[in-house]
Structure 1
Amino acid sequence: MRKEVDKNSDEKLYKQVENILLELINEEPYSKGFYLPNELELMKRLNVSRHTVRKAMDSLVLRGLIIREKGRGTKVNLDRKKVKTTLNSWHSFTDEMFSQGSELKHINKKIVMEDFPDEIKDIFGLDRNKEYNGPVLYRESGINDSIDIYFQSYFNPGINLDKDEDFINGSFTKLYDYLEKNYGIFTVVSDEEVTAMMPTEELKEILDINDKIPVLCRKRLVYDKFGQKIEYNIGYYRADRFVYNISLKREV
Protein backbone atom coordinates (compact mmCIF):
# COMPACT_ATOMS: atom_id res chain seq x y z
CA MET A 1 0.00 0.00 0.00
CA ARG A 2 1.22 3.49 -0.83
CA LYS A 3 2.28 5.33 2.32
CA GLU A 4 0.59 8.68 1.68
CA VAL A 5 -1.48 10.69 -0.74
CA ASP A 6 -0.31 13.41 -3.09
CA LYS A 7 -1.58 16.65 -1.55
CA ASN A 8 -0.45 18.60 -4.61
CA SER A 9 -2.71 16.58 -6.89
CA ASP A 10 -5.96 17.97 -8.31
CA GLU A 11 -7.69 14.75 -7.28
CA LYS A 12 -9.61 15.05 -4.01
CA LEU A 13 -7.89 13.49 -1.00
CA TYR A 14 -10.73 11.14 -0.14
CA LYS A 15 -10.78 9.82 -3.73
CA GLN A 16 -7.04 9.14 -3.51
CA VAL A 17 -7.59 7.28 -0.24
CA GLU A 18 -10.48 5.37 -1.79
CA ASN A 19 -8.26 4.27 -4.70
CA ILE A 20 -5.50 3.23 -2.29
CA LEU A 21 -8.00 1.16 -0.32
CA LEU A 22 -9.25 -0.43 -3.54
CA GLU A 23 -5.71 -1.64 -4.18
CA LEU A 24 -5.40 -2.84 -0.59
CA ILE A 25 -8.59 -4.92 -0.52
CA ASN A 26 -7.46 -6.80 -3.62
CA GLU A 27 -4.24 -7.87 -1.91
CA GLU A 28 -3.77 -10.72 0.54
CA PRO A 29 -4.55 -11.15 3.36
CA TYR A 30 -7.32 -8.54 3.07
CA SER A 31 -8.80 -10.06 -0.10
CA LYS A 32 -9.46 -13.23 1.90
CA GLY A 33 -11.39 -11.45 4.66
CA PHE A 34 -8.63 -10.23 6.98
CA TYR A 35 -9.66 -7.06 8.86
CA LEU A 36 -8.43 -3.80 7.36
CA PRO A 37 -6.34 -1.29 9.33
CA ASN A 38 -8.62 0.90 11.44
CA GLU A 39 -9.24 4.59 10.78
CA LEU A 40 -6.51 5.80 13.15
CA GLU A 41 -3.92 3.51 11.56
CA LEU A 42 -4.90 4.67 8.07
CA MET A 43 -4.71 8.32 9.18
CA LYS A 44 -1.10 7.81 10.28
CA ARG A 45 -0.08 5.72 7.28
CA LEU A 46 -1.57 8.07 4.70
CA ASN A 47 -1.06 11.36 6.55
CA VAL A 48 -4.67 12.49 6.17
CA SER A 49 -7.52 13.42 8.52
CA ARG A 50 -9.95 10.93 10.02
CA HIS A 51 -12.78 12.64 8.10
CA THR A 52 -10.98 11.90 4.82
CA VAL A 53 -10.45 8.24 5.72
CA ARG A 54 -14.06 7.82 6.84
CA LYS A 55 -15.45 9.41 3.67
CA ALA A 56 -13.38 7.04 1.52
CA MET A 57 -14.49 4.02 3.54
CA ASP A 58 -18.14 5.13 3.48
CA SER A 59 -17.98 5.11 -0.30
CA LEU A 60 -16.62 1.54 -0.35
CA VAL A 61 -19.31 0.44 2.11
CA LEU A 62 -22.00 1.90 -0.14
CA ARG A 63 -20.51 0.11 -3.12
CA GLY A 64 -20.76 -3.16 -1.23
CA LEU A 65 -17.01 -3.80 -1.38
CA ILE A 66 -16.35 -3.69 2.36
CA ILE A 67 -18.50 -4.26 5.43
CA ARG A 68 -18.30 -2.95 8.99
CA GLU A 69 -18.75 -5.42 11.84
CA LYS A 70 -19.69 -3.82 15.14
CA GLY A 71 -16.95 -4.15 17.74
CA ARG A 72 -14.62 -6.00 15.36
CA GLY A 73 -13.62 -3.89 12.40
CA THR A 74 -13.95 -3.51 8.64
CA LYS A 75 -13.20 -6.15 6.04
CA VAL A 76 -13.78 -7.10 2.42
CA ASN A 77 -17.31 -8.20 1.62
CA LEU A 78 -16.74 -11.74 0.33
CA ASP A 79 -20.43 -12.41 -0.36
CA ARG A 80 -21.00 -10.10 -3.29
CA LYS A 81 -19.43 -7.76 -5.79
CA LYS A 82 -21.21 -4.64 -7.00
CA VAL A 83 -20.58 -2.28 -9.84
CA LYS A 84 -20.81 1.43 -9.17
CA THR A 85 -21.78 3.66 -12.06
CA THR A 86 -21.41 7.40 -12.44
CA LEU A 87 -24.52 8.93 -13.95
CA ASN A 88 -24.51 12.07 -16.06
CA SER A 89 -27.69 13.42 -14.46
CA TRP A 90 -29.58 12.92 -11.22
CA HIS A 91 -33.06 13.84 -10.03
CA SER A 92 -35.45 13.20 -7.19
CA PHE A 93 -37.48 10.04 -7.74
CA THR A 94 -40.65 12.13 -8.14
CA ASP A 95 -39.02 14.02 -11.02
CA GLU A 96 -37.74 10.77 -12.53
CA MET A 97 -41.27 9.40 -12.69
CA PHE A 98 -42.67 12.66 -14.07
CA SER A 99 -40.06 12.69 -16.85
CA GLN A 100 -41.30 9.23 -17.89
CA GLY A 101 -44.92 10.34 -18.02
CA SER A 102 -45.97 8.93 -14.64
CA GLU A 103 -47.06 10.79 -11.54
CA LEU A 104 -45.70 9.48 -8.27
CA LYS A 105 -48.18 9.83 -5.42
CA HIS A 106 -47.00 9.99 -1.82
CA ILE A 107 -49.81 8.02 -0.23
CA ASN A 108 -48.56 8.01 3.36
CA LYS A 109 -45.87 10.20 4.90
CA LYS A 110 -44.69 10.49 8.48
CA ILE A 111 -41.67 11.87 10.29
CA VAL A 112 -40.60 10.17 13.50
CA MET A 113 -37.96 11.31 15.97
CA GLU A 114 -35.87 8.23 16.74
CA ASP A 115 -32.34 7.09 17.47
CA PHE A 116 -30.34 6.36 14.31
CA PRO A 117 -29.13 2.77 13.70
CA ASP A 118 -25.36 2.23 14.02
CA GLU A 119 -24.94 2.01 10.23
CA ILE A 120 -26.46 5.48 9.83
CA LYS A 121 -24.44 6.92 12.72
CA ASP A 122 -21.27 5.72 10.99
CA ILE A 123 -22.24 7.44 7.75
CA PHE A 124 -22.83 10.80 9.45
CA GLY A 125 -19.89 10.50 11.83
CA LEU A 126 -21.96 10.12 15.02
CA ASP A 127 -20.80 8.28 18.13
CA ARG A 128 -22.43 4.84 18.21
CA ASN A 129 -22.44 4.87 22.00
CA LYS A 130 -24.50 8.06 22.23
CA GLU A 131 -28.20 8.27 21.52
CA TYR A 132 -29.20 10.68 18.78
CA ASN A 133 -32.90 11.36 18.30
CA GLY A 134 -33.20 12.77 14.81
CA PRO A 135 -36.03 13.05 12.28
CA VAL A 136 -36.56 9.98 10.08
CA LEU A 137 -38.83 10.42 7.07
CA TYR A 138 -40.99 7.44 6.11
CA ARG A 139 -42.93 7.55 2.83
CA GLU A 140 -45.20 5.05 1.12
CA SER A 141 -45.62 5.93 -2.54
CA GLY A 142 -47.06 4.56 -5.76
CA ILE A 143 -47.88 5.29 -9.37
CA ASN A 144 -51.62 4.91 -8.89
CA ASP A 145 -53.32 4.33 -5.55
CA SER A 146 -51.32 1.23 -4.63
CA ILE A 147 -48.17 1.34 -2.52
CA ASP A 148 -45.28 0.36 -4.79
CA ILE A 149 -42.31 1.94 -2.97
CA TYR A 150 -41.39 2.35 0.67
CA PHE A 151 -38.78 5.01 1.52
CA GLN A 152 -36.76 5.69 4.67
CA SER A 153 -34.67 8.89 4.83
CA TYR A 154 -32.08 9.94 7.42
CA PHE A 155 -30.56 13.43 7.47
CA ASN A 156 -27.27 15.04 8.45
CA PRO A 157 -27.68 16.29 12.05
CA GLY A 158 -25.79 19.45 11.10
CA ILE A 159 -28.82 20.69 9.16
CA ASN A 160 -30.79 20.88 12.45
CA LEU A 161 -34.00 19.56 10.92
CA ASP A 162 -34.90 18.27 14.39
CA LYS A 163 -35.62 21.91 15.33
CA ASP A 164 -37.70 22.66 12.21
CA GLU A 165 -41.37 22.33 13.15
CA ASP A 166 -42.57 22.73 9.55
CA PHE A 167 -40.34 19.86 8.46
CA ILE A 168 -41.28 17.63 11.38
CA ASN A 169 -44.96 18.28 10.63
CA GLY A 170 -44.39 17.23 7.02
CA SER A 171 -45.29 20.63 5.56
CA PHE A 172 -43.61 20.02 2.21
CA THR A 173 -44.27 18.19 -1.05
CA LYS A 174 -40.82 17.86 -2.61
CA LEU A 175 -38.02 17.26 -0.13
CA TYR A 176 -35.15 18.72 -2.16
CA ASP A 177 -37.13 21.83 -3.10
CA TYR A 178 -37.77 22.37 0.61
CA LEU A 179 -34.07 22.04 1.47
CA GLU A 180 -33.12 24.49 -1.30
CA LYS A 181 -35.71 27.09 -0.34
CA ASN A 182 -35.31 26.96 3.44
CA TYR A 183 -31.66 25.99 3.90
CA GLY A 184 -29.91 26.90 0.66
CA ILE A 185 -28.91 23.25 0.25
CA PHE A 186 -28.53 22.12 -3.36
CA THR A 187 -28.20 18.35 -3.70
CA VAL A 188 -26.08 17.52 -6.73
CA VAL A 189 -24.43 14.11 -6.24
CA SER A 190 -25.88 10.72 -5.40
CA ASP A 191 -23.90 7.55 -4.65
CA GLU A 192 -26.21 4.59 -5.19
CA GLU A 193 -26.38 0.87 -4.59
CA VAL A 194 -29.14 -1.37 -5.92
CA THR A 195 -29.68 -4.97 -4.82
CA ALA A 196 -32.43 -7.56 -5.13
CA MET A 197 -33.83 -9.15 -1.99
CA MET A 198 -36.74 -11.23 -0.81
CA PRO A 199 -39.27 -9.22 1.20
CA THR A 200 -39.31 -9.15 4.97
CA GLU A 201 -42.60 -9.59 6.81
CA GLU A 202 -42.80 -5.81 7.23
CA LEU A 203 -42.27 -5.19 3.50
CA LYS A 204 -44.82 -7.83 2.53
CA GLU A 205 -47.42 -6.01 4.59
CA ILE A 206 -46.52 -2.50 3.40
CA LEU A 207 -46.17 -3.35 -0.31
CA ASP A 208 -48.98 -5.93 -0.27
CA ILE A 209 -46.87 -8.70 -1.82
CA ASN A 210 -46.21 -12.37 -1.18
CA ASP A 211 -43.01 -14.40 -0.79
CA LYS A 212 -42.66 -14.88 -4.56
CA ILE A 213 -42.28 -11.19 -5.45
CA PRO A 214 -38.73 -9.87 -4.91
CA VAL A 215 -37.92 -6.32 -3.87
CA LEU A 216 -35.35 -3.91 -5.28
CA CYS A 217 -33.46 -2.21 -2.46
CA ARG A 218 -31.98 1.13 -3.57
CA LYS A 219 -29.62 2.86 -1.13
CA ARG A 220 -28.75 6.46 -1.94
CA LEU A 221 -26.25 8.75 -0.19
CA VAL A 222 -26.88 12.33 -1.29
CA TYR A 223 -24.27 15.11 -1.20
CA ASP A 224 -24.56 18.87 -1.68
CA LYS A 225 -22.36 20.93 -4.01
CA PHE A 226 -19.70 21.20 -1.27
CA GLY A 227 -19.42 17.44 -0.85
CA GLN A 228 -21.29 17.35 2.46
CA LYS A 229 -23.54 14.37 3.17
CA ILE A 230 -27.15 15.53 3.29
CA GLU A 231 -29.41 12.48 3.20
CA TYR A 232 -29.16 8.70 3.36
CA ASN A 233 -32.20 7.18 1.71
CA ILE A 234 -33.30 3.56 1.50
CA GLY A 235 -36.03 2.73 -1.00
CA TYR A 236 -37.78 -0.63 -1.38
CA TYR A 237 -39.44 -1.13 -4.78
CA ARG A 238 -41.79 -3.85 -5.97
CA ALA A 239 -39.66 -5.64 -8.55
CA ASP A 240 -42.73 -6.68 -10.55
CA ARG A 241 -43.50 -3.02 -11.26
CA PHE A 242 -40.09 -1.38 -11.61
CA VAL A 243 -36.98 -1.83 -13.71
CA TYR A 244 -33.86 0.08 -12.69
CA ASN A 245 -32.29 1.27 -15.92
CA ILE A 246 -28.86 2.91 -16.18
CA SER A 247 -27.57 4.73 -19.25
CA LEU A 248 -23.85 5.43 -19.43
CA LYS A 249 -22.10 7.85 -21.71
CA ARG A 250 -18.49 7.35 -22.70
CA GLU A 251 -16.44 10.52 -23.05
CA VAL A 252 -14.28 10.46 -26.20
Structure 2
Amino acid sequence: MAKRGDRARGTAGSALGSLDFALDRGSPVPLYHQLAQQLEAAIEHGALAPGNLLGNEVDLSVRLGLSRPTVRQAIQSLVDKGLLVRRRGVGTQVVHSQVRRPLELSSLYDDLEEAGQAPTTEVVRHEVVPASCDVAAALGVQEGCEVTVLGRVRRTHDRPLALLCNYVPVCLLDLDNARLAATGLYRIMRSAGITLHSAHQTVGARAATAQEAARLDEREGAALLTMQRTAYDDTGRPVEYGTHIYRASRYSFDFQLLVRP
Protein backbone atom coordinates (compact mmCIF):
# COMPACT_ATOMS: atom_id res chain seq x y z
CA MET A 1 0.00 0.00 0.00
CA ALA A 2 1.17 3.54 -0.69
CA LYS A 3 2.44 5.25 2.48
CA ARG A 4 2.28 8.88 3.50
CA GLY A 5 4.15 10.90 0.88
CA ASP A 6 4.61 7.82 -1.36
CA ARG A 7 4.18 8.10 -5.10
CA ALA A 8 2.45 5.23 -6.90
CA ARG A 9 3.64 4.72 -10.47
CA GLY A 10 1.77 2.80 -13.15
CA THR A 11 3.62 0.09 -15.05
CA ALA A 12 3.97 -0.53 -18.76
CA GLY A 13 0.96 -1.97 -20.54
CA SER A 14 -1.50 0.79 -19.71
CA ALA A 15 -1.76 4.55 -20.16
CA LEU A 16 -0.81 4.92 -16.49
CA GLY A 17 2.72 3.68 -17.14
CA SER A 18 4.25 7.15 -17.34
CA LEU A 19 2.16 8.79 -14.60
CA ASP A 20 2.94 9.37 -10.93
CA PHE A 21 0.21 9.58 -8.30
CA ALA A 22 0.95 11.23 -4.96
CA LEU A 23 -1.23 9.41 -2.43
CA ASP A 24 -1.13 10.63 1.17
CA ARG A 25 -2.40 8.01 3.62
CA GLY A 26 -2.20 10.51 6.46
CA SER A 27 -4.56 12.93 4.77
CA PRO A 28 -8.21 13.22 5.84
CA VAL A 29 -9.06 13.07 2.13
CA PRO A 30 -9.97 9.45 1.28
CA LEU A 31 -7.51 7.62 -0.96
CA TYR A 32 -10.18 6.92 -3.56
CA HIS A 33 -10.90 10.66 -3.83
CA GLN A 34 -7.19 11.50 -4.09
CA LEU A 35 -6.81 8.98 -6.91
CA ALA A 36 -9.98 10.19 -8.66
CA GLN A 37 -8.81 13.83 -8.48
CA GLN A 38 -5.42 12.98 -9.95
CA LEU A 39 -6.89 10.83 -12.71
CA GLU A 40 -9.31 13.65 -13.57
CA ALA A 41 -6.43 16.15 -13.69
CA ALA A 42 -4.47 13.82 -16.00
CA ILE A 43 -7.48 13.60 -18.31
CA GLU A 44 -8.09 17.35 -18.23
CA HIS A 45 -4.45 18.18 -19.07
CA GLY A 46 -4.15 15.58 -21.82
CA ALA A 47 -1.78 13.15 -20.04
CA LEU A 48 -4.61 10.64 -20.42
CA ALA A 49 -6.25 11.07 -23.81
CA PRO A 50 -9.62 9.84 -25.13
CA GLY A 51 -9.24 6.16 -26.02
CA ASN A 52 -6.42 5.45 -23.55
CA LEU A 53 -6.84 2.23 -21.55
CA LEU A 54 -6.28 2.14 -17.80
CA GLY A 55 -6.67 -1.62 -17.46
CA ASN A 56 -9.08 -3.47 -15.17
CA GLU A 57 -9.54 -2.89 -11.45
CA VAL A 58 -7.38 -5.83 -10.36
CA ASP A 59 -4.47 -4.68 -12.50
CA LEU A 60 -4.87 -1.10 -11.34
CA SER A 61 -4.94 -2.03 -7.67
CA VAL A 62 -1.69 -3.97 -8.08
CA ARG A 63 -0.03 -1.26 -10.19
CA LEU A 64 -0.96 1.53 -7.79
CA GLY A 65 -0.53 -0.37 -4.53
CA LEU A 66 -4.13 0.22 -3.48
CA SER A 67 -6.99 -2.03 -2.46
CA ARG A 68 -9.43 -3.05 -5.17
CA PRO A 69 -12.43 -1.32 -3.44
CA THR A 70 -10.44 1.94 -3.32
CA VAL A 71 -9.65 1.74 -7.04
CA ARG A 72 -13.23 0.71 -7.86
CA GLN A 73 -14.66 3.70 -5.99
CA ALA A 74 -12.26 6.13 -7.71
CA ILE A 75 -13.09 4.77 -11.13
CA GLN A 76 -16.83 4.79 -10.46
CA SER A 77 -16.74 8.46 -9.50
CA LEU A 78 -15.18 9.29 -12.89
CA VAL A 79 -17.53 6.93 -14.73
CA ASP A 80 -20.41 8.84 -13.11
CA LYS A 81 -18.87 12.10 -14.40
CA GLY A 82 -18.62 10.64 -17.91
CA LEU A 83 -14.82 10.78 -18.01
CA LEU A 84 -14.24 7.02 -18.01
CA VAL A 85 -16.15 4.04 -19.34
CA ARG A 86 -15.90 0.34 -18.46
CA ARG A 87 -15.77 -1.98 -21.47
CA ARG A 88 -16.27 -5.74 -21.07
CA GLY A 89 -13.14 -7.64 -22.06
CA VAL A 90 -11.18 -4.41 -22.50
CA GLY A 91 -11.01 -2.64 -19.14
CA THR A 92 -11.39 0.98 -18.19
CA GLN A 93 -11.04 3.54 -21.00
CA VAL A 94 -10.79 7.32 -21.08
CA VAL A 95 -13.75 8.88 -22.87
CA HIS A 96 -13.07 12.62 -22.78
CA SER A 97 -12.33 15.51 -20.52
CA GLN A 98 -15.12 17.74 -19.29
CA VAL A 99 -15.53 20.91 -21.31
CA ARG A 100 -14.86 23.97 -19.13
CA ARG A 101 -15.79 27.15 -20.91
CA PRO A 102 -15.16 30.73 -19.79
CA LEU A 103 -18.09 33.10 -19.65
CA GLU A 104 -17.21 35.38 -22.54
CA LEU A 105 -18.65 36.19 -25.95
CA SER A 106 -17.25 33.34 -28.00
CA SER A 107 -18.47 30.50 -30.18
CA LEU A 108 -18.84 27.06 -28.60
CA TYR A 109 -17.56 25.56 -31.86
CA ASP A 110 -14.45 27.75 -31.84
CA ASP A 111 -13.77 27.06 -28.15
CA LEU A 112 -14.06 23.30 -28.64
CA GLU A 113 -11.90 23.34 -31.76
CA GLU A 114 -9.16 25.35 -29.99
CA ALA A 115 -9.27 22.89 -27.08
CA GLY A 116 -8.77 19.92 -29.42
CA GLN A 117 -12.24 18.53 -28.63
CA ALA A 118 -13.06 17.61 -32.27
CA PRO A 119 -16.50 19.28 -32.48
CA THR A 120 -19.12 18.09 -34.95
CA THR A 121 -22.64 19.42 -35.56
CA GLU A 122 -25.94 17.84 -36.54
CA VAL A 123 -28.54 20.28 -37.85
CA VAL A 124 -31.93 19.11 -36.54
CA ARG A 125 -33.97 22.22 -37.35
CA HIS A 126 -33.67 25.07 -39.84
CA GLU A 127 -36.80 26.97 -40.71
CA VAL A 128 -38.50 30.38 -40.73
CA VAL A 129 -41.08 30.86 -37.96
CA PRO A 130 -43.10 33.73 -36.46
CA ALA A 131 -41.25 35.30 -33.54
CA SER A 132 -42.70 34.51 -30.12
CA CYS A 133 -43.00 37.25 -27.52
CA ASP A 134 -39.64 36.33 -25.92
CA VAL A 135 -37.80 36.02 -29.23
CA ALA A 136 -39.27 39.28 -30.54
CA ALA A 137 -38.24 41.14 -27.39
CA ALA A 138 -34.69 39.75 -27.58
CA LEU A 139 -34.21 40.57 -31.27
CA GLY A 140 -36.01 43.92 -31.19
CA VAL A 141 -38.67 42.93 -33.73
CA GLN A 142 -42.45 42.82 -33.59
CA GLU A 143 -44.10 39.69 -32.25
CA GLY A 144 -45.06 37.45 -35.18
CA CYS A 145 -42.32 38.85 -37.40
CA GLU A 146 -40.49 36.12 -39.34
CA VAL A 147 -37.18 34.91 -37.86
CA THR A 148 -34.90 32.00 -38.70
CA VAL A 149 -34.63 29.29 -36.05
CA LEU A 150 -31.71 26.87 -35.97
CA GLY A 151 -31.60 23.68 -33.92
CA ARG A 152 -28.27 21.88 -33.68
CA VAL A 153 -26.74 19.06 -31.65
CA ARG A 154 -23.08 19.77 -30.91
CA ARG A 155 -20.87 16.74 -30.28
CA THR A 156 -17.29 16.20 -29.16
CA HIS A 157 -15.50 12.91 -29.84
CA ASP A 158 -18.80 11.68 -31.34
CA ARG A 159 -20.73 12.13 -28.07
CA PRO A 160 -23.50 14.72 -27.57
CA LEU A 161 -22.52 17.75 -25.52
CA ALA A 162 -25.13 20.45 -26.17
CA LEU A 163 -28.46 21.13 -27.84
CA LEU A 164 -28.37 24.61 -29.38
CA CYS A 165 -31.37 26.66 -30.45
CA ASN A 166 -30.66 30.02 -32.10
CA TYR A 167 -32.94 32.68 -33.54
CA VAL A 168 -31.59 35.23 -36.02
CA PRO A 169 -33.31 37.95 -38.11
CA VAL A 170 -34.47 36.32 -41.31
CA CYS A 171 -32.55 38.65 -43.62
CA LEU A 172 -29.31 38.69 -41.60
CA LEU A 173 -27.46 35.71 -43.08
CA ASP A 174 -27.50 33.33 -46.02
CA LEU A 175 -27.51 30.00 -44.20
CA ASP A 176 -27.49 26.44 -45.47
CA ASN A 177 -27.34 23.16 -43.55
CA ALA A 178 -23.99 22.07 -44.96
CA ARG A 179 -22.31 25.22 -43.71
CA LEU A 180 -24.06 25.07 -40.35
CA ALA A 181 -22.85 21.49 -39.91
CA ALA A 182 -19.27 22.39 -40.84
CA THR A 183 -18.64 25.39 -38.58
CA GLY A 184 -20.02 27.66 -35.87
CA LEU A 185 -22.69 30.33 -36.22
CA TYR A 186 -20.43 33.13 -34.98
CA ARG A 187 -17.78 32.20 -37.53
CA ILE A 188 -20.43 32.45 -40.25
CA MET A 189 -21.41 35.87 -38.90
CA ARG A 190 -17.83 37.09 -38.93
CA SER A 191 -17.34 35.92 -42.50
CA ALA A 192 -20.45 37.92 -43.46
CA GLY A 193 -18.89 41.09 -42.03
CA ILE A 194 -20.80 41.11 -38.75
CA THR A 195 -18.69 42.31 -35.81
CA LEU A 196 -19.90 40.86 -32.53
CA HIS A 197 -19.48 43.34 -29.71
CA SER A 198 -21.36 42.29 -26.58
CA ALA A 199 -24.06 40.02 -25.19
CA HIS A 200 -26.45 39.59 -22.30
CA GLN A 201 -26.38 36.05 -20.94
CA THR A 202 -28.24 34.12 -18.24
CA VAL A 203 -27.06 30.75 -16.92
CA GLY A 204 -29.26 28.28 -15.06
CA ALA A 205 -29.99 24.59 -14.55
CA ARG A 206 -32.90 22.18 -14.76
CA ALA A 207 -33.79 18.54 -15.40
CA ALA A 208 -33.84 17.02 -18.89
CA THR A 209 -37.15 16.29 -20.57
CA ALA A 210 -37.61 12.93 -22.33
CA GLN A 211 -37.02 14.53 -25.75
CA GLU A 212 -33.91 16.39 -24.60
CA ALA A 213 -32.53 13.28 -22.91
CA ALA A 214 -32.91 11.33 -26.14
CA ARG A 215 -31.06 14.00 -28.13
CA LEU A 216 -28.23 14.22 -25.59
CA ASP A 217 -27.86 10.52 -24.76
CA GLU A 218 -28.87 11.19 -21.16
CA ARG A 219 -31.54 9.77 -18.89
CA GLU A 220 -34.78 11.66 -18.42
CA GLY A 221 -34.42 13.98 -15.44
CA ALA A 222 -30.62 14.25 -15.75
CA ALA A 223 -29.08 17.57 -14.77
CA LEU A 224 -28.69 20.10 -17.59
CA LEU A 225 -27.06 23.51 -17.64
CA THR A 226 -29.06 26.17 -19.46
CA MET A 227 -27.99 29.37 -21.14
CA GLN A 228 -29.97 32.19 -22.77
CA ARG A 229 -27.96 34.77 -24.70
CA THR A 230 -28.72 37.82 -26.81
CA ALA A 231 -25.71 38.94 -28.85
CA TYR A 232 -25.23 42.44 -30.31
CA ASP A 233 -23.02 43.73 -33.09
CA ASP A 234 -20.84 46.85 -32.92
CA THR A 235 -23.78 49.08 -33.88
CA GLY A 236 -25.86 47.82 -30.92
CA ARG A 237 -28.15 45.75 -33.15
CA PRO A 238 -29.29 42.38 -31.73
CA VAL A 239 -28.10 39.71 -34.18
CA GLU A 240 -28.80 36.46 -32.34
CA TYR A 241 -30.88 35.03 -29.52
CA GLY A 242 -29.84 31.61 -28.26
CA THR A 243 -31.41 29.17 -25.80
CA HIS A 244 -28.95 26.35 -25.23
CA ILE A 245 -28.77 23.31 -22.95
CA TYR A 246 -25.63 21.41 -21.97
CA ARG A 247 -25.00 18.07 -20.29
CA ALA A 248 -23.89 18.92 -16.75
CA SER A 249 -21.82 15.71 -16.67
CA ARG A 250 -19.70 17.01 -19.55
CA TYR A 251 -19.81 20.77 -19.37
CA SER A 252 -19.23 23.62 -16.93
CA PHE A 253 -18.91 27.40 -16.98
CA ASP A 254 -15.78 29.04 -15.56
CA PHE A 255 -16.10 32.39 -13.74
CA GLN A 256 -13.40 34.84 -12.77
CA LEU A 257 -14.67 36.99 -9.89
CA LEU A 258 -13.16 40.31 -8.89
CA VAL A 259 -13.60 42.16 -5.59
CA ARG A 260 -15.67 45.29 -6.03
CA PRO A 261 -13.54 48.37 -5.16
TM-score (norm 1): 0.55
Secondary structure of the corresponding residue to residue 122 of structure 1: helix
- The reply on whether 1:132 has 2:145 as its aligned counterpart is yes
Larger Rg belongs to: 2
Cα distance in 2 for partners of 1:249, 1:100 equals: 25
**Counterpart Cα distance in 1 of 2:157 and 2:242:** 22
**Which residue matches 1:25?**
none
**5 Å matches for 1:134-213?**
134-157=147-170, 160-161=171-172, 166-172=174-180, 173-182=183-192, 184-213=193-222
For residue 175 of structure 2, what is the amino acid of its counterpart?
F
Higher strand share: 2
Q: 1:100 to 1:249 in 2, by over 3 A?
A: farther
2:136 pairs with one of 109, 117, 121: 121
1:100 is aligned to 2:106: no
Q: TM-score, normalised by structure 2?
A: 0.54
**AA aligned opposite 1:105:** T
CA contact (8 A) 1:176 1:186 kept: no
Quote the offset at 1:137 in angstroms.
1.0
Paired letter, 2:133:
D
Equivalent residue of 1:111, what SS?
Answer: strand
- The DSSP-based 3-state class of the residue aligned with 1:189 is strand
Partner of 2:224: 215
Please state how far the C-alpha of 1:218 moved relative to its aligned partner. Answer: 0.9
Question: What is the CA–CA distance in structure 1 between the aligned matches of 2:198 and 2:125, rounded to whole Å?
Answer: 25
Query: What is the rounded CA distance, in whole Å, between the counterparts of 1:238 and 1:88 in structure 2?
Result: 17
Q: Unaligned 5+ residue runs, structure 1?
A: 1-86
Which residue type is aligned with residue 246 of structure 1? F
Task: Name the CA distance, whole Å, in 2 between partners of 1:169 and 1:213.
Answer: 29
Identical positions, percent: 22
Structure 2: segments with no counterpart, 5+ residues: 1-101
1:119 deviates by 0.8
Q: Which amino acid aligns with 2:250?
A: R
Q: How many residues align?
A: 158
